[in-house]
Structure 1
Amino acid sequence: MAQQKKFVVKTPRGQIYTQKTSGGTIMARLEWSGGMAPRIEGNLSRAQCFVDSEVLRNSDPLTPRLTGALIKSGTLGTVIGSGEVSYNAPYARRQYYEHNGQGLRGPKWFERMKTANKDKILEGAEKIARGG
């Protein structure tokens, strides 16, 4: 006989799980402590700010630079904590896909930054999200 599951999820106060089986009904209720939701939201918000800042900081040495306007457009076009880094210079897209720079600077700077720094950024974000 197939098991039937019914999930009722309520956040941030708690969750109720109910499962009917041939032997009866199993019910579990999980309740968050009163101050837990704001603390978790605060930690996650700080972790997102960390990720956004680190993406900009680590992308800087890889981003094409003639006058520095492209790098500044990333700083000005990004709202730290939003989860979206945006280079809003009119030529940013072309630079991202086509530019042949000198040294480390060149195309697809975000992808190259992510390959080199992903683990460090994730470790830092995890530490902050856990309240550290």
Structure 2
Amino acid sequence: MSGPVIETPRGTITINANGKAELKFNSKFRNRWQSNYSAAQKFVDSEVLRLCEPYIPLLTSMLIKSGILGTDVGSGTVQWIAPYAKAQYYSPRKPGSSTGPLRGPQWFERMKSVSGKEIVAGARKIAGRE
């Protein structure tokens, strides 16, 4: 009872003569797809920063710049690191003020509801999944 049991582009699972399953990854798959996924993650991170900007409360632009400074594009984590960012994000105030009609709390969630599908579509295209 040996031979391929499951075969995918990522690798193969076989059962050896002792009846144990062996997993073998396809080394070419990792190199090809890893670069595509890294590029897609960089796209997602940069688009989140860019598209959140009109929604972030603005007085001195320090909060916007703290997102640029606090984010390692491609890491998968976008973070606004200003000391008051959390208070601004979870503020009970309604969006819209003298600094702009879209600006206010929960900027990521509000941006995601408007532009989330476009970000996912762009990432899928870059990753070669479309």
TM-score by structure 2 length?
0.77
Task: Report how many residues are paired.
Answer: 115
Number of the residue aligned with 1:23: none
Q: How does 1:28-47 map to 2 (within 5 A)?
A: 32=26, 34-47=27-40
Number of the residue aligned with 1:122: 120
CA distance in 1, matches of 2:51, 2:45: 10
Q: How does 1:7-46 map to 2 (within 5 A)?
A: 14-16=11-13, 32=26, 34-46=27-39
Measured against aligned partners, the alpha-carbon deviations of 1:5-63 in whole angstroms (never above 9, x if no partner) come to xx899x96x22156xxxxxxxxxx9873x533211000000000000000000000000
Percent identity, please.
49
Specify whether residues 96 and 31 from structure 1 end up closer, same or farther in structure 2 by C-alpha distance, changes over 3 A only.
closer
TM-score by structure 1 length?
0.76
Q: How does 1:84-95 map to 2 (within 5 A)?
A: 84-95=77-88
Provide structure 2 residue ranges, at least 5 long, that are not aligned to the other structure: 16-22
Equivalent residues of 1:49, 1:81 under 8 A apart: yes
Is 1:81 the counterpart of 2:79? The answer is no
Is 1:57 the counterpart of 2:50? The answer is yes
Provide structure 1 residue ranges, at least 5 long, that are not aligned to the other structure: 1-6, 19-28
2:90 counterpart SS class: helix
- RMSD of aligned Cα (Å): 3.0
Is 1:68 the counterpart of 2:68? The answer is no
1:47 counterpart SS class: helix
